[in-house]
Amino acid sequence: MKIIMLGAPGAGKGTQAKMIADKYAVPHVSTGDIFRANIKEGTELGKEAKKYMDQGLLVPDELTVKILLDRVAKEDCANGYVLDGFPRTIPQAEVLDKALTELGDKIDFAINVDVPDENIVKRMGGRRACLACGATYHIEHIPPKTEGICDRCGQELILRDDDKAETVMNRLQVYHDQTQPLIDFYNAKGVLKEVDGTVDMKEVFNAIVDILG
């Protein structure tokens, strides 16, 4: 079972990816984690990726796919995997698709966690973080016992720049420009499935389980 998770930043696709990986005992494959692991282990692919990252450049699609295929070729991916954070663009999807086809393989499901922009802005704008101990809260869903104060260490909670409405809107615009077309791409391949990401996290997960069977 090879799955790609799609959805806007803040839609909760990473959380769902982890839950799917746990339930079906397949690896949760995040491109960020793979890059870090390859760089830490000093692999040839890692050294190549590091050259770009050290210059603040994006790692080219072909190299990203090479690193990804190297990861999914490992024994723990024999029964499948959940891809999170890749592909982000049509060229990446095409390179991945071509590489998998050459291996006689393919993606089984592309699951889009659908959440309207205004919900995401509200959801992310409600996040609060403690810079002292790293604890995170949400003013509606996981409020601290005392408003603005961390339960764990008593320090002040802040709204991170990443979660401010203006930043979130910018990230959503990039998503709609670059990643939204992937929905059409995977729909054309007949593997796209959509779930309503506005409901409770467990309900979203149950809807995904129904799709995966």
How many Å from the N-terminal Cα to the C-terminal Cα in the chain? 11
88 catalytic, yes or no? yes
152 catalytic, yes or no? no
Q: Per the residue annotation, which of 66, 71, 88, 128 is the catalytic one?
A: 88
Cis peptide before 87 (omega within 30 of 0): yes
171 catalytic, yes or no? yes
Q: Per the residue annotation, which of 160, 164, 193, 202 is the catalytic one?
A: 160
202 catalytic, yes or no? no
Q: Per the residue annotation, which of 2, 13, 66, 128 is the catalytic one?
A: 13
What are 42-45's contacts with CB under 8 Å, separation 24+?
Answer: 45/70
Q: Per the residue annotation, which of 2, 71, 123, 127 is the catalytic one?
A: 127
Q: Per the residue annotation, which of 18, 36, 122, 171 is the catalytic one?
A: 171
36 catalytic, yes or no? no
In angstroms, the CA 171 to CA 167 distance is 6
In angstroms, the CA 74 to CA 150 distance is 41
> Which residues are designated catalytic?
13, 88, 127, 160, 171
